[in-house]
Amino acid sequence: MSLVEGSGGRFEVTVDGKLLFSKAALERFPAYQEIPKLIFEASA
């Protein structure tokens, strides 16, 4: 896992090239524990 600096206020989470969360697409910040849950589900 690594942090990649972006621009324009984007917040995106990808795992193995697969986009799991995009603040720009959903127009919101992630809910509490949403990111760990998405990462866990992607690794299953």
Instruction: Identify the pLDDT of residue 8.
Output: 80
Residue 32 falls within a domain, yes or no? yes
Answer whether residue 1 shows pLDDT above 70.
no
Residue 39 gets the label, from left (phi > 0), alpha (psi -120 to 50) or beta, of alpha
pLDDT in tens, 9-40: 888 999 888 999 999 999 999 999 999 999 99
Residue 32 sits in which domain range? 12-43
Does any domain span residue 33?
yes
pLDDT bin (cut points 50, 70, 90) of residue 41 is: very high
Predicted pLDDT of residue 42: 92
The whole-angstrom distance between residue 1's C-alpha and the CA centroid of its chain comes to 12
The answer to whether residue 34 sits within a structural domain is yes
Domain count, the chain: 1
Helices (H) and strands (E) in the chain, counts: 2, 2
